[in-house]
Amino acid sequence: MSRTAHIERSTAETKIALSIDLDGTGVSKISTGVGFFDHMLELFSRHSMIDLTVEAQGDLHVDDHHTVEDVGICLGQAIRQALGDKRGIRRYGHFTLPMEETLVTTAIDLSGRYYMVFQAEIPAAKIGTFDSELIEDFWQATAANALCNLHVIVHHGRNSHHVSEGIFKCAARALRMAIENDPRQTGVPSTKGTLTT
């Protein structure tokens, strides 16, 4: 069964079309108008092995916030839709990733319930022209709409680019583990019998 999804979102602030294939090869085609964010999404796709296409037009004359947050909303919705009833997946994923002087740990539970802990100090307020605080906003929007538990901990890091890149790569690797098919798991990995509510 194909684990794909296509989400379209149109508001007065953004217009977004996003497609994913959970069983892809990490191929991406990203265009958001926010260069640093495009780079992070490309890293996410490559390390999660999720094929990802994003076409976003946003009110960048205001700032990057609406575009970044709304792409997160669409990505979370797409992950939830593509997973279906989550039958046969591993459900949990975790990873610890070094990025030069930076070390990040991420843990994910595709539980059908939202909760996020984000313990990540990003040294600089800006990475180029990109507002560093939008990294947390993106992952909050993604987790809230994927209905998962997401914990992100940056143990240490000096370079803000490395910290951000470490977070995106680490979350991608943890998600890759969580969405994998478990050959020993034939049903939904929960004693409740469901992970959709």
In the predicted structure, residue 142 carries a pLDDT above the cut 70: yes
7 vs 10, 94, 186, CA distance in Å?
Answer: 10, 26, 28
In the predicted structure, residue 188 carries a pLDDT above the cut 80: no
Share of the chain above pLDDT 90, in %: 87
For residue 62, count other CB atoms closer than 10 A to its CB.
Answer: 10
Q: Which structure tokens are listed for 25?
A: 């090869």
In the predicted structure, residue 179 carries a pLDDT above the cut 80: yes
Beta strands 102-109; 115-119: pairing state: unpaired
State the pLDDT at residue 186.
Answer: 76
In the predicted structure, residue 187 carries a pLDDT above the cut 90: no
Q: What is the mean pLDDT of residues 60-70?
A: 96
State the pLDDT at residue 1.
Answer: 75
Domain 4-179 falls under CATH 3.40.630.10: no
Beta strands 92-99; 14-21: pairing state: unpaired
Q: Classify the C-alpha dihedral 62-63-67-73 as positive or negative.
A: negative
Q: What is the mean pLDDT of residues 131-136?
A: 98
Beta strands 28-31; 51-58: pairing state: parallel
In the predicted structure, residue 191 carries a pLDDT above the cut 60: no
In the predicted structure, residue 196 carries a pLDDT above the cut 80: no
Mean pLDDT of the chain: 94
In the predicted structure, residue 68 carries a pLDDT above the cut 70: yes
The domain ranges of the chain are: 4-179
State the pLDDT at residue 182.
Answer: 82
The 10s digit of each residue's pLDDT in 71-115 is 999 999 999 999 998 888 999 999 999 999 999 999 999 999 999
Specify the pTM: 0.94
Q: What is the mean pLDDT of residues 176-180?
A: 96
**Under a CB-based contact definition with an 8 Å cutoff, are residues 68 and 192 in contact?**
no
Q: What is the mean pLDDT of residues 58-75?
A: 96
